[in-house]
């Protein structure tokens, strides 16, 4: 049997301790499946004395993750600290400089610095693997970079933040407001320290930018991802969408067209009967469309100790087996800088607005839409007792710029009470 593969693990939070448990529990299984032992040489974390529920006495301890990355008895640096910059980035750079392969779950670091890190690693004949950075336990990175490598990918679509899916499905199931379910998610520990990372779509946007790079052979460009969170979604939106056969999801979409690469993370309506429409709770789902394989649907746990640690270990095992794949599926030097495309692919839209309850109000809105070249598919006005009337409009296919112009023109009609909510209806 080959010599053991020696790990240095930086970060002993939920995922880090989960990884230690796998190594300790499945030592024989890992060796049988990789042809060599996988062992932990040293670990690093902020607190040495914290009880983490795992045995750490047999491992060397480093207070400084950079020192861990530079140890002679470490072959693979496993970065599980998190954070786009700071210690995670510094230690990862140190590991590459010291000739170590890297496994990370850090989507923020790769979304912002992945191009430079991949170039540095590949120049040194090293690999960076990051299955756990996207969709937790779902092997979507491996699916794109290996299993579907012979396909031209047409589109990536998915629910990539379990917290947002938990909030939206809980609102619907229990008829609760956004604020009420947000508070529950916070109490359960589902939200990041900065909740905007979750509900603002930033966390999911990081993941989408990484998948888009693999799928389309482009440099990671998180700044080009159009982000819109779920903060404005009301229980009325959810109920009215359900009334028409749809469910609301925070949906990531990346697709290449003649205009360039479109990347967006925003609330959308999807058919309730579709796989995405049926997705419940904190589960993730990614839908991939390839020219040879057709549509592939991957569903599973998007976070948590076991699923994420499983994904980390899958990358470690590939390295143990001698499988070495470029960070983003092809050599970093061959990745192109994609032209950024807006959301110009036509689609139907859901519009919710409050109109002042006076004669001709609805006619003015219809006229504005018509003047913008937007036709109405369905329109409903719900009963009300307030001086404003809730109105729901579903358009035929139109472009987002045209819809934006129409919404801007509505403000001049004098019949709107508040800003309209516009959600894309996505074909799945």
Active site residues: 207
Residues 6+ apart with CB under 8 A from 363: none
Alpha-carbon distances, residue 152 vs 115, 135, 217, 307, 427 (angstroms) = 22, 22, 10, 29, 20
- How many CA atoms, within 13 angstroms, populate the side-chain half-sphere of residue 173? 11
Nearest to 427 by CA among 178, 246, 305: 246
205 in Cβ contact with 265 (< 8 Å) = yes
**What's the CA gap between 136 and 55, in Å, rounded?**
24
158 in Cβ contact with 286 (< 8 Å) = yes
* Pair type for strands 128-129 and 101-104: parallel
Phi, psi of 192 (to 5 degrees): -65, 165
Instruction: Render 82-134 in DSSP notation, one character per residue.
Output: --SSHHHHHHHHHHHHTT-EEEE--HHHHHHHHHHHHHHHHHTT--EE-GGGS
**What's the CA gap between 129 and 81, in Å, rounded?**
15
Strand partners, 226: 264
**What's the CA gap between 170 and 159, in Å, rounded?**
15
Please give the radius of gyration of the chain, using alpha carbons only, rounded to the nearest integer: 24
């Amino acid at each position: 049997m080959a010599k053991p593969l020696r790990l240095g693990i930086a970060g002993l939070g939920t995922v880090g301790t989960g990884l230690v448990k796998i190594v300790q529990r499945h030592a024989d299984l890992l060796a049988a499946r990789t042809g060599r032992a996988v062992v932990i040489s040293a670990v690093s974390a902020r607190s040495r004395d914290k009880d983490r529920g795992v045995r750490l006495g047999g491992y060397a301890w480093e207070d400084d993750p950079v020192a861990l990355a530079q140890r002679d008895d470490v072959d693979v640096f496993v970065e599980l600290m998190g954070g786009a910059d700071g210690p995670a980035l510094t230690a990862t750079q140190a590991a590459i400089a010291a000739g170590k392969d890297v496994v990370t779950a850090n989507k923020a670091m790769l979304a912002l610095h992945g191009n430079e890190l991949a170039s540095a690693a590949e120049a040194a004949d090293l690999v960076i693997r990051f299955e756990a950075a996207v969709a937790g336990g779902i092997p979507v990175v491996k699916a794109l970079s290996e299993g579907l490598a012979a396909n031209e990918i047409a589109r990536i679509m998915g629910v990539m933040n379990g917290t947002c899916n938990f909030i939206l499905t809980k609102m619907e199931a229990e008829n609760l407001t956004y604020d009420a379910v947000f508070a529950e998610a916070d109490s359960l520990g589902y939200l990041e320290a900065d909740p905007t990372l979750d509900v603002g779509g930033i966390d999911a946007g990081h993941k989408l930018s990484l998948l888009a790079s693999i799928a389309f052979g482009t440099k990671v460009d998180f700044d080009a991802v159009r982000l819109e969170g779920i903060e404005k979604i009301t229980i009325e939106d959810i109920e009215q969408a359900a009334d028409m056969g749809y469910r609301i999801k925070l949906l990531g979409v990346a697709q290449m067209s003649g205009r360039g690469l479109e990347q967006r993370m925003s609330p959308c309506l999807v058919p309730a009967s579709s796989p995405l429409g049926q997705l419940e709770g904190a589960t993730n789902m990614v839908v991939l469309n390839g020219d040879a394989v057709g549509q592939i649907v991957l569903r599973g746990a998007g976070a948590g100790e076991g699923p994420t640690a499983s994904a980390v270990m899958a990358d470690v095992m590939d390295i143990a087996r001698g499988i070495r794949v470029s960070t983003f599926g092809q050599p970093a030097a061959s990745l192109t800088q994609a032209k950024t495309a807006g959301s110009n692919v036509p689609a139907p839209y859901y519009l919710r607005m409050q109109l002042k309850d006076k004669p001709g109000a609805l006619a003015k809105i219809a006229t504005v839409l018509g003047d913008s070249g937007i036709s109405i598919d369905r329109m409903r006005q719900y009963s009300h007792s307030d001086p404003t009337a809730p109105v729901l409009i579903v358009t035929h296919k139109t472009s987002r710029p045209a819809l934006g112009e129409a919404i801007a023109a509505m403000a001049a009609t004098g019949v709107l009470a508040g800003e309209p909510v516009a959600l894309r209806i996505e074909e799945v």
